[in-house]
Amino acid sequence: MKICCIGAGYVGGPTMAMIALKAPSIEVRVVDMNAARIAAWNSDTLPIYEPGLDEVVKERRGKNLHFSTDVAGSIKVADIIFVAVNTPTKTYGIGAGRAADLRFIESVARTIAEHANGPKIIVEKSTIPVKTAETIKEILRANSSGHTFEVLSNPEFLAEGTAIKDLLAPDRVLIGGEHTPGGEAALQALVDVYAHWVPRERIITTNLWSSELSKLVANAFLAQRISSINSISALCEATGADVDEVANAIGKDSRIGPKFLKASVGFGGSCFQKDILNLVYLCEHFRLPEVAAYWEWVVKMNDWQKHRFAERIVASLFNTVADKRIAVYGFAFKKDTNDTRESPAIAVCRDLLAEQARVTVYDPKVPEREIRAEILGKDGTAAGHGAETRLTVAASPYDAAVDAHAIAVLTEWDEFKTLDYAKIFARMCQPASVFDGRNILDCAKLQTLGFRTHAVGK
Q: Which of the residues are catalytic?
A: 271
Per-residue CA distances from 115 to 32, 109, 151, 232 (Å): 15, 10, 17, 54
Amino acid (1-letter code) at residue 60: R
Non-local CB neighbours of 36 within 8 Å, separated by 6+ positions: none
Given a contact cutoff of 8 angstroms between Cβ atoms, the answer to whether 362 and 399 are in contact is yes
Strands 406-409 and 433-436: parallel
Length of the chain: 458
Show the DSSP H helices in 30-180 as ranges.
Answer: 35-41, 53-60, 71-77, 103-115, 132-143, 163-168
SS3 of residue 379 by DSSP = coil
What does DSSP assign to residue 20?
H
Give the orientation angle of helix 289-316 with respect to helix 344-354, to 10 degrees.
Answer: 50
SS3 of residue 80 by DSSP = strand
Non-local CB neighbours of 184 within 8 Å, separated by 6+ positions: 177, 178
SS3 of residue 262 by DSSP = coil
Q: Is the bond preceding residue 364 a cis peptide, omega within 30 degrees?
A: no
Per-residue CA distances from 287 to 98, 282, 292, 313 (Å): 15, 9, 9, 41
| Cα 371 from Cα 283, distance rounded (Å) | 35
| Cα 314 from Cα 359, distance rounded (Å) | 13
Nearest to 396 by CA among 430, 431, 369, 420: 420
Q: How would DSSP label each residue in 145-173?
A: SS--EEEEE------TTSHHHHHHS-S-E
Strands 391-393 and 203-206: unpaired
Backbone angles phi, psi at 417, to 5 degrees: -80, -20
